[in-house]
């Protein structure tokens, strides 16, 4: 069995980066994709089916990217919990050695 080392500060920094990435992605969605109004009507009479298809793809894209952002935030939260638990365990181990 080898030695395992955990850097709680690095885990917290990684968690912050995950949160930041999620915020950036969600900001882009809100600013650029969520307000796109493209559908069969916007495409015009001759391109209604294509317009509806574009709308469907955009809706799926927004849903998938939103799901990714939620997962990124959950990952950040899990990293923070892991860092906290490791810090608590380390503190208990140090106290036990005293």
Average pLDDT in the 60-78 region? Answer: 96
Of the candidates 28, 45, 44, 24, the one whose C-alpha atom is nearest the C-alpha of residue 36 is 28
pLDDT, residue 3, reads 86
Greater model confidence, 66 or 38: 66
How far, in Å, CA of 4 to CA of 8, rounded? 13
Top mean-pLDDT range of 35-44, 63-72, 87-96? 63-72
Q: Does 63 score more than 90 pLDDT?
A: yes
Average pLDDT in the 62-73 region? Answer: 95
Greater model confidence, 74 or 6: 74
Greater model confidence, 62 or 34: 62
């Amino acid at each position: 069995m080898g030695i395992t080392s955990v850097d709680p500060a690095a885990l917290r920094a990684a968690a912050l980066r995950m949160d930041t990435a999620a915020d950036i992605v969600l900001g882009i969605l809100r600013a650029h994709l969520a307000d796109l109004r493209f559908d069969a009507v916007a495409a015009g009479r001759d391109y209604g089916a294509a317009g509806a298809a574009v709308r469907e793809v955009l809706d799926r894209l927004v849903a998938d990217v939103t799901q990714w952002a939620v997962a990124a935030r959950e990952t950040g939260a899990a990293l923070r919990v892991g860092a906290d638990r490791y810090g608590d365990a380390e503190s208990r181990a140090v106290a036990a050695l005293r």
